[in-house]
Amino acid sequence: MNDGLVRLVSQRFDAFASRYLEAPGDGFAYTLKVEHTRRVLDIAETIAREEELPERLVPACRLAALLHDVGRFPQYKQYHTFRDADSANHAALSVTYTLREKLLANVPAEIRRLVLGAVYLHNKRILPELSSPDLRTVAQLLRDSDKLDIYRVLIAHFSQPEQLHPEVALHVLNEPDKFSEPVLQALLARSYGDYRHIVYINDFKLMVIGWLYDLNFRSSCRLLKERGYLDELFDSLPQHERFDLLRRQITQELAQRLKDA
């Protein structure tokens, strides 16, 4: 049931995405999202398995991963950007297009409800209080899986000598020695970075370093450590004693989370 359902929705997602991939010109942007989706699905399955999630929640986690960025395709087609602030909320678009394209047809109502809820919530800066513990779990798992793959995408992007596709990092300024004080302050105070303060490439790196505070599962922290994303990000920042301070703080936080859970 579980595998058959995911395979069916996966085929529908492929058919949906292929309509965009076939259009001339913007193949790079759409391919990026198809590959991201595949990896997020893979990560979601790993976390669900390691956390021994109740069987009833696993299909919802897998389907939410598959559909979370469906809205990116119409977003890029219409606006030529992935910046929600300059276009539309892509999570809301994902819900709209999932319904419009009947991507969840024949999926049991309870699973559908969890999937649509988690997809809608995946890009909120902070997950709101939710009365349904099941929805909270699926939404948390999707958010962690998405972040873990975005680390990968961004690190690959930052390591290119010339950033050919600035939309990946939301068009931040590539000034290698600059950073914005409020972003660093927020992280040292153990709070999340705020997209509104992001100006420079280093702000962006700092903000994603701070995502550690928002990870919900021990398995997510394990993957983060194993993949070495934080080290890569810190190594790519300019020399600054306050970055060293932050690095010690973040390293301790990660060790604590791996010990505690």
Q: Can you give the binding site for Fe ion, defined by CB under 5 A?
A: 69
Q: What is the CA radius of gyration of the chain?
A: 18
**Nearest residue (CB) to Fe ion, 69 versus 149:** 69
The distance of closest approach from Cβ of residue 30 to Fe ion in the complex, given in angstroms and rounded to an integer, is 14
Nearest-approach distance from CB 118 to Fe ion, in angstroms: 11
Query: What is the smallest separation between the CB atom of 90 and Fe ion, expressed in angstroms?
Result: 6
Q: Measured between alpha carbons, how far is 153 from 235 in angstroms, rounded to an integer?
A: 17
Express the helix, strand and coil content of the chain in percent, nearest 5 each: 70, 0, 30
Least separation in angstroms between residue 169's CB and Fe ion is 15
- Which residue type, as a one-letter code, is found at position 181? E
**CB nearer Fe ion, residue 88 or residue 254:** 88
Question: Which residue type is seen at 56?
Answer: R
Per this entry, what is the length of the chain? Answer: 261
Q: Which is nearer to Fe ion, 145 or 180 (CB)?
A: 145
CA 182 – CA 198 distance, rounded (Å): 9
Q: Which is nearer to Fe ion, 69 or 203 (CB)?
A: 69
Report which residue's Cβ sits closest to Fe ion. Answer: 69
C-alpha–C-alpha distance, residues 67 and 104, integer Å: 9
